[in-house]
Amino acid sequence: MKNKTSIQGTWASRWIFILAATGSAVGLGNIWKFPYITGENGGGAFVLVYLICIALVGLPIMMAEVFIGRRARKNPINALEDLAEESGQSKKWGIIGLMGMLAGIFIFSFYSVVAGWVLHYIKAMATGELANVSSEQAGALFNELLADPATLLGWHTLFTLMVLAVVIAGVNKGLERATRIMMPALFFLLIALLGYAISTPGFSQGWDFMFHFDVSELSWDAVLVALGHSFFTLSLGMGTIMAYGSYMPKKASIGSTVLMVGALDTLVALVAGLAIFPIIFSNGMNPGAGPGLMFISLPVAFGQMAFGQFFGFLFFVLVGVAAWTSAISLLEPSVAFLVERFKLKRSTASIGLAILVWLLGIACLGSFNFMSDVTFFGKNTFDALDYLTTNIMLPLGGILIAIFAGWFVKDQFVKDEVQTSNFIHVCWKVSVCVISPIAVSIVLLLNL
């Protein structure tokens, strides 16, 4: 493969790739989902399993994705096809990329709805609507929001437009510029919130809850949730990281870069937990409150604390920024594909996709009101798409990428592109050839 760069552009440096990939990885998964699933699954034991999944399965698959993208310098579908052909395999491997594109579109449609709730809460925090609310009031406000399709549609539309504005501008003028501004802001906000959490009386209880590893608390269910979430949180299994990898400068080392992205994503999830649980415990609330943890429990907690309104506002801005940089990456592989395969203009591809995800998003936001009786296997559209992508499509995509990279791609290609020590190469091989396929198959089968 002789392409030196992608026609979409190249990141200005290895650091921009790290920040852009971290921007994709760090999102609602880290700040909304991770704390509530940790709360639901008992705390420390779950955190331990999650860390193991990231290290043994997530990072090796991320390396495979970056390798495939950077070698081909094309969108995921073409990249997989090229590499398969070069290794003497069937071009049908490109189907993994197609499934990934579809997963990105599905994820966007419910992601944008949740991001819309976040935008609503930024406004509510700023206007003082949530000052001193009781749990009942906060619950009622959240339910009122869910029951109001017009308001939800407004926020969902705004969020989709925010994402479109970045994606349409291209890799360097859009994605890279957004990364340069938003990622430092994100780290700054996170540190400010952690400082605030440390100053609350519940900090040590929050710390214990997250890091008290009691193996007896481990359940099979927790393992399933942890593995599924490790794909979602690292943006794996759907070609996003492959697309970002295709814009990576040639000289950057793949191994250390991937390690950095994985470490930053994990750090943010842990810090988000450490910022949230102390606030919950300081106010004597239940850490296992589920998806409402961020939208019901947290506003109540903030409402009762000194400077709570201000830090609550900062908190929701942080979540909004994180969701924005992730949502951008959900569309990028599909935009690149449409541009490269069908020679569409980037603007046409971006607008077309935005309209598609916007329409699907309406079905997701309708799940809470006018479409609540539309169900698939007993789940509303929102839950069904979350389940289908997180528990089936991403792990399936991940396992296929692992099998392809481990068993079907010529080993020499990997060595040429990744250039790590023999030891790391062997560890990677063991993971993608054996550990990941077995672990993910078990989880997939149990899930079904």
**Closest to ligand PFF by CB, 96 or 300:** 96
**28 touches ligand PFF by CB under 6 A:** yes
Neighbour tally for 52: CB within 10 Å? 16
Binding mask 315-344 for ligand PFF (x = CB under 6 A): -----------x--xx--------------
**Least distance (Å) between residue 166 CB and ligand PFF:** 14
Of 189, 238, 385, 388, the one binding ligand PFF (CB under 6 A) is 238
Kindly tell me which of 156 and 308 has the beta carbon lying closer to ligand PFF. Answer: 156
> What sections of 128-175 are H helices per DSSP?
135-146, 149-167
What whole-number distance in Å separates Cα of residue 256 and Cα of residue 275? 28
Phi, psi of 376 (to 5 degrees): -120, 120
- CA nearest neighbour of 400 among 425, 437, 434: 437
Q: Which is nearer to ligand PFF, 25 or 133 (CB)?
A: 25
CB nearer to ligand PFF: pick between 25 and 125: 25
* Residue 109: CA count within 13 A, CB half-sphere: 28
Q: How far is the CB of 233 from ligand PFF (least distance, A)?
A: 4
How remote is the C-alpha of 409 from its chain's centroid? 27
Q: Are 248 and 311 in contact (CB under 8 A)?
A: no
Q: What angle do CA 334, 248, 426 make, to 5 degrees?
A: 105
Cα atoms found within 13 Å of the Cα of residue 150, Cβ hemisphere only? 0
Which residue in this structure is represented by tokens 């034991």? 45
Please tell me the count of residues contacting ligand PFF according to CB under 6 A.
16
Q: Who contacts 172 (Cβ-Cβ below 8 Å, separation ≥6)? A: 9, 10, 12
**Binding-site member from 10, 22, 30, 257 for ligand PFF (CB under 6 A):** 30
Q: Which one among 78, 200, 233, 282 touches ligand PFF, defined by CB under 6 A?
A: 233
Identify any residues that bridge with 380 across adjacent strands, giving them in sequence order: 375
Q: How far is the CB of 417 from ligand PFF (least distance, A)?
A: 22
Using CB under 6 A, pick the residue from 63, 107, 171, 414 that binds ligand PFF: 107
Which among 28-36, 84-92, 300-308, 413-421 is the span making contact with ligand PFF, rule CB under 6 A?
A: 28-36
Site for ligand PFF in 116-135 (CB under 6 A): none
In whole angstroms, the minimum distance from the beta carbon of 315 to ligand PFF comes to 16
Task: For residues 407 and 96, give the distance between their C-alpha atoms in angstroms, rounded to a whole number.
Answer: 15
Q: Which stretch binds ligand PFF (CB under 6 A): 71-79, 132-140, 214-222, 229-237?
A: 229-237
Angle CA(304)–CA(309)–CA(311) in degrees, nearest 5? 105
Residue closer to ligand PFF (CB basis): 122 or 393: 393
| Phi, psi of 379, deg, nearest 5 | -115, 145
Choices 20-28, 112-120, 124-132, 345-353; region in contact with ligand PFF by CB under 6 A: 20-28
Binding of ligand PFF by 25 (CB under 6 A): yes
Q: List all residues 6 or more positions away from 331 whose beta carbon is below 8 Å from its beta carbon.
A: 104, 108, 163, 167, 350, 353, 354, 357
Closer to ligand PFF by Cβ: residue 329 or 381: 329
Q: Using CB under 6 A, list all residues that contact ligand PFF.
A: 24-25, 27-30, 104, 107, 232-233, 235, 238, 240, 326, 329-330
